[in-house]
Structure 1
């Protein structure tokens, strides 16, 4: 295999886990691809404050993507994805397993596509450009099932590429999320009705700008807390990405209101105060730089900082996450890679919300198809 071809393959692999799905059926306008990933991984940390930071983190992830040609204009499609954790004994084999994606929809040529189910929220359209670290990407404010920050339930999504085929590089999306609240869901994983939108434009070859906004009703229990004011949970994010000739640079900035759960023990006037509620305001910045060498090596450098603002009861502002990420992935070919990712925690030992301050090294080998 030529070195330049290997660089192209692993660059595509770094950007999407389904770049090399196995085609299992393709006939008469019907196509079905099966994809998967086995990540054999260990976290290493010398701190005793959190046992999960020094433990096996292996898992296998599988899914399928299918489509069917209905007529000259209309195409049906669907995707499902599930993760099985491999770090539990057989007696607890279901612990931590999770349904990641499951949606179906219709595409109408240049008029766009509409789908419904468990899918990515549109704020992740921006977060995705910095979710590139070998292991610790998208670990600050974009938790799953927190409104439309990342994977979530009950979203109807409309997407349009190249603005109805009229403007190359101009993509937009609209999203509606129905209320998710019942006895089996925690308050932090519940939501009221909401809307979101995202926009992306390719400025020049390799350089694009992205933005996204969302606004949702909060549930009664979310509003009935000591921390977190307001009837609406809101978010916005914007970012820039440059991806060309092996160079990958990306940065984004995001803010949320009354959306992200905050928990911990804060020091106020020398006294411990239990904090359990939602951040009135959160600010997040992420920067990532990577380079793809022809022989398969992809080093990575990133910085992440998340602050929560205006916490009640005299607590004020506090750092929520703050770390430098040093990583590298070596791609043996399109299916096999090895990686190391070092999360250097920059939070002070006596940080306001008593957040974990462990440094963590992730080591692993990944097979995917």
Structure 2
């Protein structure tokens, strides 16, 4: 049975030491149960802000602890069908975390073999799996270009179906009412998502090249009371976004040949905030990564960029412009170390609504990380 190791996003400028484990604690009569998790210690230093040396970037460094816990279970129904569940949480690891027990991916499903897999719960959205994940190469600075597009990589209240037809991978999902907790395009995070629909397609060629495409529509309805969390009935004035919608679309490709790997992702979104405000926001992001393996070393680099324009933005600007480079060293088969650099040179948003400064990025950041896996 395959083991599943899941990563926890940590702040930039970090020196990380982690332990991870996955142990099979039960296996009998076609049923198996695994426990997996890890502990991370993170030391990071933010460097100088990209905006006139303004405070807000952590220039003194910090040491934090992070832990993760998960349970995976699977039962074989017959030769063609199995059912499974997986639960993953980030757990409070120091006093300042309080009693936090934060869910990452919690889902159950059924695997019908050649007829596909149905999964229900909080899991990766097809946009992430098809378009973004092939470029998600860096240990410390992943997915900058896609910030505020679609929302979290893990989306709740989903029913997902995935299958393979010849050289094509097909995946689609339907999402029901929920609140993601982040800004999505031009929609404020207090707005409830009524429903969403996503479809993704991957074509595997015979020469190591994979071609990727995906589309999602998110429809927003009610808003919530910020103090109580109660849903406020849909109106045209609550946040000016009660009938808003976001269209997200992406194209990508990745190529592998012996020790060489290349990947590209384009992800864009168009936000219509609704009749009350009639604001539109257009976001276009581009992510390019490449890597080359040399014995125990992997050398890799990347360039991420995001453009924004809309009727409420006086002038189109590029808040994310980032060059990254790194080296990974496999110490043993289950221990590895990373050294990474990120240079951020995005345009400054004078209102500080979205740019390097508000995201907490420094001009030059360096990360040294290490991991031990059981």
TM-score by length of 2: 0.77
Question: Matches of 1:153 and 1:39 in 2, distance apart?
Answer: 25
Candidates 46, 50, 56, aligned match of 1:50 = 56
The corresponding residue for 1:7 is none
Aligned-residue Cα RMSD (Å) equals 3.5
Q: Which residue number corresponds to residue 104 of structure 1?
A: 108
What SS is found at the alignment partner of 1:35?
Answer: strand
User: In structure 2, do the counterparts of structure 1 residues 185 and 243 end up closer, same or farther at CA, with 3 Å as the change threshold?
Assistant: closer
What's the counterpart of residue 162 of structure 2? Answer: 159
Q: Secondary structure at the match of 1:315?
A: coil
Q: Displacement of 1:228 after TM fit?
A: 7.7
8 Å contact kept, 1:249–1:290: yes
Q: Distance in 2 between matches of 1:259 and 1:337?
A: 45
- TM-superposed CA distance for 1:175, in Å, is 0.1
Structure 1 residues 140 and 337 mapped into 2: Cα distance closer, same or farther (>3 Å)? same
- CA distance in structure 2 between the partners assigned to 1:316 and 1:192 by the alignment: 32
Please say if 1:323 is aligned against 2:322: yes
Return the structure number with greater helix share: 1
Offset from partner CA, 1:276-315 (integer Å, 9 cap, x none): x986110000000111222x22122000001111241x51
Contact between 2:219 and 2:243, CA under 8 Å: does it hold in 1?
Answer: no
Q: Does 1:122 align with 2:120?
A: no
- Shift in Å, 1:70: 1.0
Return the offset for 1:129: 0.6
Q: Is 2:223–2:239's contact at 8 Å kept on the other side of the alignment?
A: no
Residue 334 of structure 1 deviates from its aligned partner by: 3.0
C-alpha change, 1:31 and 1:134, in structure 2 (3 Å) is same
Question: Post-superposition shift, 1:112?
Answer: 0.6
Q: Which residue of 2 aligns with 1:74?
A: 81
Aligned residues: 328
Contact 1:40 1:364 survives alignment (8 Å): no
TM-score, with length taken from structure 1: 0.78
Aligned pair partner of 1:138 in 127, 143, 148: 143
* Structure 1 unpaired stretches of 5+: 1-11, 261-276
Partner SS for 1:322: strand
Question: Structure 2: any 5+ residue segments left out of the alignment?
Answer: 9-19, 49-53, 225-235
> What residue in structure 2 maps to residue 341 of structure 1?
340
Could you give the per-residue CA deviations for residues 20-51 of structure 1, whole angstroms, max 9, x where no partner exists? 84433333211223333333332223326324
Find the counterpart in structure 2 of residue 218 from structure 1. Answer: 220
Per the TM alignment, residue 195 of structure 1 is displaced from its structure 2 partner at its CA by 0.6
Q: Secondary structure at the match of 2:193?
A: coil
Q: Which moved more, 1:333-342 or 1:150-159?
A: 333-342
Q: Provide the rounded CA distance (Å) in 2 between the counterparts of 1:259 and 1:84.
A: 37
Deviation digits for residues 179-225 of structure 1 (CA, Å, limit 9, x no counterpart): 1149x998426412111011111112422111111012123449758
Partner of 1:234: 247
